[in-house]
Amino acid sequence: MPRYFTSILILLLLGIAFPLHAQDDDEEENKPVITDSVKQLRFSFDISKPILNALFKERQAYEIEIDYYHKKDIYFVAEGGWGSGKLDSTYLNYRSTNVFGKIGFNKSLLARLFPNDWDMAFIGLRYGLGIIQRSDATYVIKNDLWGNTMGSIPGKSMTAHWMEVNGGVRVELAKGLFAGWNIRGKFLLNGKQFKELPPPYIAGYGKGGKNSIFDFNFYLCYAIRWKK
C-alpha cells in the first residue's frame, strides 16, 4: 500500500515541476523578469527537535537541512541527522540508534517579484535512508504456575527506506536569516523487516512500527548568496 501511494505522489509532484497551465501573452509581458543571476545556499536547523527531546525522554533526534537554489523556483535539498529510541517496560526492554540522510527537491509556489525576494511557500519530495542499530532485547515471560522466564534476543543492524511528501514556508526575517516550517507525510518502503522488534524510534522518520507517519519541523535558517 505505501508503494501505491508513493507512486501516485511522485507523479503528482513531478508534474508540478512543470507549468500547470499556459498564461496569456499579455500577462507574461506584464510580469517582471527575474534572472537567476544570484545563487543561494541555505543552512537550516530544526529547533523543534531539542524541545521534543526534553519532553519525551524515550526518543532523541537532531535534524539539519541544506538547500540550494537551482533555477525557476527549484531548490535541491539534502537533509541529515541522528537520534535514538528506547522501549522500557515490565516485560520488554531494548534500544536503537540511527543516522539518516535524505535527498530531494522543493518547488516554490510563489513567483519571485524581485531579485532579492526569497520568501517561499513550497511543496517537495524526499527519499530517506536510515542506518539503524538495535541493541539486545531482554524480555520476561510471567507464569504464575511455572514461574517467570527471562531471556534475550540478539541485537541487529537494519536499514529503513522511505519516501516523503512535504510542504512548508520560509520567510526571510533579516538579510540571510530565515524562519519556517515543514509538514511531512512519510511512507516506509520496507516495513516488513520491522514486524519483529521494530526500532522504538527512527530519527528522520518516526516510530519504526508504522508504515506511514505525519511529522513536522520548525526551522531557523541562514543563507549565503553569491553572483554567478
- Comparing 2-16, 60-74, 146-160, the range with the smallest average pLDDT is 2-16
- Cβ contact 163:187 at 8 Å: yes
Query: Distance between the two ends of the chain, CA-based, in angstroms?
Result: 45
Closest CA to 180 of 58, 75, 61, 54: 75
Is the model's pLDDT at 196 over the cut of 90? no
Residue 44, burial from CB neighbour count under 10 angstroms (0-12, 13-18, 19+): buried
The top-scoring range by mean pLDDT among 16-20, 76-80, 109-113, 149-153 is 76-80
- Cβ contact 123:165 at 8 Å: yes
Q: What is the mean pLDDT of residues 91-95?
A: 94
Alpha-carbon distance 216 to 6, whole Å?
19
Per residue in 112-140, pLDDT tens? 888 889 999 999 999 999 999 999 999 88
Give the pLDDT score at 55.
96
Its CATH architecture, for the domain 2-9+40-227, is: Beta Barrel (2.40)
Is the model's pLDDT at 217 over the cut of 90? yes
- Average confidence score pLDDT of the chain: 87
Per residue in 10-67, pLDDT tens? 544 455 544 444 444 444 445 555 667 889 999 999 999 999 999 999 999 999 999 9
